[in-house]
């Protein structure tokens, strides 16, 4: 057995001349503290010299500056990175937060029809079923409330009216949602907000009564079940192009296709 002169590990000497245990040790370089100090001093002297100043000016002249629009606050800003999306750290954090909220929104965004009501989420479905089962009069709100967001005038339609009380269901709150509610209040509307915490009692009621835990969307009347192209299990697709029931099946399905393609090429 030999000992590597770099890492001091024992090895069989099979690599190269036998001095090093591996390619990693053979190709690594170690600089002494004195050598590093000399290089650092030379580098600093170069950048404060006349040649260094010319190099800095040359780089600055060749540097491209792009005029961009912040996707969070819509303000204009300049950057050398053409792919930059936000103008500041606050806007970057806000963009990340908005992205996370959209992810939460997708979790219960199944749309469908139930007893003549066109619904946009399972929150609305659970809220509707509860009141219908309890015999409480519920209908879609017909109010159209004008509001302005980012300089554009839009129309806000609350979700339901229950015994004369207007209800709005929100699993998450965005800046636009807050402006909607504030504008409605200023115009004299009294809207009751049902958030992701308060909606849970309606969801639990429906899941318990209809035995649909974590799959309330199966109660939609226009539900269309499909058969997974990989495992054959019936599932509820989130969109028209979905062919597989889960990410696990998606990975296995693609792996099988790749293996078949490789076998075909070899043949």
| Strands (E) located in the chain | 2-3, 10-11, 66-69, 76-79, 112-114, 117-119, 138-140, 145-149, 152-156, 160-162, 165-169, 191-194, 226-227, 234-235
Q: Which two tokens stand for residue 257?
A: 């296709």
pLDDT of residue 55: 86
CA distances from 105 to 35, 174, 196, 202 (A): 57, 11, 10, 18
Phi, psi of 153 (to 5 degrees): -85, 130
pLDDT of residue 126: 94
Tens of pLDDT, residue by residue, the chain (267 residues): 888 888 888 888 888 888 888 888 888 877 788 888 988 999 888 888 888 888 888 887 787 888 899 888 888 998 888 888 899 988 888 888 777 655 544 444 678 899 999 998 889 999 999 999 999 999 999 999 999 998 899 999 999 999 999 999 988 788 899 999 999 999 999 999 999 889 999 999 999 999 888 778 888 887 777 888 888 888 777 666 788 888 888 888 888 877 766 554 444
Q: Which fold has domain 109-219?
A: Endonuclease; Chain A (3.40.960)
Domain ranges of the chain: 2-47, 68-103, 109-219, 226-266
CA–CA gap between residue 162 and residue 122 (Å, rounded): 18
How far does CA 172 lie from the centroid of its chain? Answer: 15
pLDDT of residue 240: 62
Q: What is the DSSP secondary-structure string of 31-55? A: --HHHHHHHHHHHHHHHTSHHHHHH
pLDDT of residue 32: 81
């Amino acid at each position: 057995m030999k000992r590597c002169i770099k890492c001091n590990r024992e090895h069989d000497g099979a690599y190269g001349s036998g001095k090093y245990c591996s390619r990693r040790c053979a190709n690594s370089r170690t600089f002494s503290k004195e050598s590093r100090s000399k290089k650092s001093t030379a580098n600093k002297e170069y950048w404060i010299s006349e040649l260094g100043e010319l190099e800095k000016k040359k780089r600055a002249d060749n540097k491209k500056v792009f005029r961009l629009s912040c996707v969070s606050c819509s303000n204009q800003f300049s950057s050398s990175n053409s792919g930059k999306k936000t103008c500041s750290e606050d806007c970057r954090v806000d963009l990340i937060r908005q992205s996370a909220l959209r992810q939460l929104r997708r979790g219960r965004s199944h749309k469908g029809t139930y007893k003549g009501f066109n619904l946009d989420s399972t929150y609305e479905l659970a809220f509707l079923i509860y009141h219908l089962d309890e015999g409480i009069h519920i209908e879609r709100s017909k109010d159209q409330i004008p509001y302005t967001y980012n300089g554009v005038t839009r129309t806000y339609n609350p979700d339901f009216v229950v015994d004369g009380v207007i209800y709005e269901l929100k699993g998450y709150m965005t800046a636009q949602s807050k402006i909607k509610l504030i504008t409605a209040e200023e115009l004299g509307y009294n809207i009751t907000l049902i958030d992701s915490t308060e909606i849970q009692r309606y969801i639990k009621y429906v899941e318990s009564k209809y035995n649909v835990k974590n799959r309330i969307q199966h109660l939609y009347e226009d539900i269309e079940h499909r058969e997974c192209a990989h495992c054959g299990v019936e599932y509820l697709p989130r969109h028209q192009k979905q062919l597989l029931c889960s990410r696990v099946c998606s990975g296995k399905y693609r792996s099988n296709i790749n293996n078949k393609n490789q076998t075909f090429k070899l043949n």
